[in-house]
Amino acid sequence: MKIDSPKLPKELASKNFNDIFYEEDPELEHGLIVDTAFEEETLHRVRLKNIVIKNGHFNGTDLSKLDLLDVRFENCDFSNAQLNMASIHRVEFKNCKLLGVDLSESRFGNVLFENSLLNMAAFANSKFEKVIFRDCSLMSADFYDCKLKKVEYLSSDLNDTTFEQTSLKGIDISTSTFEEMTVSIDSLRGCKVSSFQAIQFASLIGLVIKE
């Protein structure tokens, strides 16, 4: 599946994330932000557009109702951050840490998570369209009551992930791994799995497979 990449200018002016406090509205556009520390802060309805952020630390920060358009995050840490009710479109998270992040009630479109840690991340009640998780760890992540359309989990760790009340119809998890998963039989209808995973699911629902 091909997704749209962030539309970023070839040249971006250097900016400081803390400059957002001096803006009339909490927004930043057209900039490169490197080595920023914005931890344990609270700032709602932040809007970022045409921004690249490298080596950013947003641990424990409350950025509820975040609005992201054409943004790339590289080597950033959002552990335990509050990013719920976010609007995230044409965004890339590369080599990022999002342990325990709250992204519930959010909207994702053309988003790439690559080589990132999302263990215990909360995505409940979110909508996804054209989203790829590639080489990610999603252990104990929560996708409760989500709407998934054109979503791929590629070579990722889905152990103990929850998909309760979430249909996996048309979703490809065949290259990912798990030992346990919370998902209903009805939700699995139409899910693309490997033959080994099919045996795993059969075992999880109590079937006894005989050779």
pLDDT band, residue 206 (cuts 50/70/90): low
**Residue 203 confidence (pLDDT) above 80:** no
Q: Kindly state the tokens that stand for 48.
A: 């970022």
pLDDT at site 23: 76
- 17-26, 31-40, 104-113, 139-148: lowest mean pLDDT where? 17-26
Q: Is residue 177 in a domain?
A: no
Nearest-angstrom CA–CA distance, 63 and 84: 8
Give the pLDDT mean for 71-97: 98
Give the pLDDT mean for 64-93: 98
Q: Is residue 33 in a domain?
A: yes
pLDDT at site 184: 85
Q: Is residue 175 in a domain?
A: no
CA atoms within 13 A on the CB side of 108: 30
Nearest-angstrom CA–CA distance, 163 and 173: 12
**Residue 115 confidence (pLDDT) above 60:** yes
pLDDT at site 151: 96
Work out the percent of the chain whose per-residue pLDDT is above 70. 97
Q: Is residue 196 in a domain?
A: no
Q: Is residue 57 in a domain?
A: yes
Q: Is residue 187 in a domain?
A: no
**Residue 194 confidence (pLDDT) above 80:** yes
Nearest-angstrom CA–CA distance, 183 and 202: 12
pLDDT at site 205: 66
**Residue 211 confidence (pLDDT) above 90:** no
Q: Is residue 142 in a domain?
A: yes
Q: Is residue 193 in a domain?
A: no
Domain count, the chain: 1
Nearest-angstrom CA–CA distance, 140 and 92: 22
Structural domain boundaries enclosing 65: 13-160
Q: What is the CATH number of the domain that holds 133?
A: 2.160.20.80
